[in-house]
Chains A and B, each alone.
Chain A
Amino acid sequence: MKKSITLMGAIALLFAISSFTSSLVSVNAGGDDIIGLWEPSNGKARVKIEKIGSKYYGKIVWLREPIDPTTQKPKVDKNNEDAKMRNVPLRGYRLLKDFVYDEESKEWSGGTIYDPESGSLYSCVITMKNDVLNIRGYVGVKALGRTDTWKRIKLKKKK
């Protein structure tokens, strides 16, 4: 009897350990796939998505036209509603913020996307299929939004 209890205890322990381990794995499974370098459909910029803490953020690391033709200086966030933040350079600007990955729906949500061309901030949800991101920005209702597709940029490693 004592032996069978010990055996059952061991099985229970193994089961508990395997459940715990698989739950740990599932927390991040898939979520980090978004990390990397991406290009919006208009090809005007490249955005690097990274993870800070438990959330995902994306910033502009490359601009096709980095110089503002009016000022002949690097482009800045001139449309920001806060006048004191209008000198922040667009190159390096964090335009995707606060995305959390939902394992069930396989989407990154809860975040925002900033459009520097209008100075507008939109709610945003991101899905990914075959290394293509569907970035849906919206105000209020998700159905009334616009989706852009971003392709992954694979950089060749320097030799």
Chain B
Amino acid sequence: MVPPLITVRDLHHTYRPGTPDATPALQGVTLDVGPGECLAIIGGNGSGKSTLAKHLNALLLPTSGEVRVDGIDTRDPDGAWLVRQRVGMVFEHPDNQIVAAVVEEDVAFGCENLGLPPAEIRDRVDQALRTVGLESLRQHPPHRLSGGQKQRVAIAGVLAMHPRCLVLDEATSMLDPQGQREVMETALGLCRRDGLALVLITHAMEEAALADRIIALDQGRIALQGTPAEIFAKGPELSRLRLEPPELARLGRALVADGVAIPPGLLTLDAFVEALAPKP
């Protein structure tokens, strides 16, 4: 049994603790993220998703409970950089994450903070830009790129740190459809091909459907967890959590109800195509 990459144990987080405005955002969350796993975290507005994400790379520290990344406690004062090297985050707004005037400098920023030798940094930046398919734009000013390209620059900056896990916090929600495709294909490729763990925080149920496993949060607690097929079969519970199955899941249920011979729980385009029109 492979040990988990990230362990979260009875995690509580309260904003403004000890004041009249104290707000409990996480109330006893326990979960593991395995190496190379793709985990989607879904939930209504205010359910605690982004708070949980920020605990995965020590941007927030537990009010109580424990988060460990690769065995390192995020509260260990010497551990924060080690944790952030292993878990990289990309947020919603592409413009808020750009720090340099040229793409390759932006990608190198994190490595420079690690104090790596220049030759090593150059190799890592080359490799990261190749992986996200932006080597031709390395000399460009980031603000001239499309939203999807900016997010891929941010992903490259994370990759250059040689992380074990990538966390995307609503990273596609501001993008046009092409930008959404670019970012999802890049991230899923890293997970499936290169064995990087991927945590997707998302309101887009069709993105969550691509994960190995889904966790649904409600008021700072885990309300549901399972495979996408298991989760999206729970209609009434989902709607209580302000969620709903993706469009295609609704189509699948309608077709099954019509007596069409397809397996229940189909969620993705590929699965539908194989079930309805298999290759001759």
Partners in one complex: no
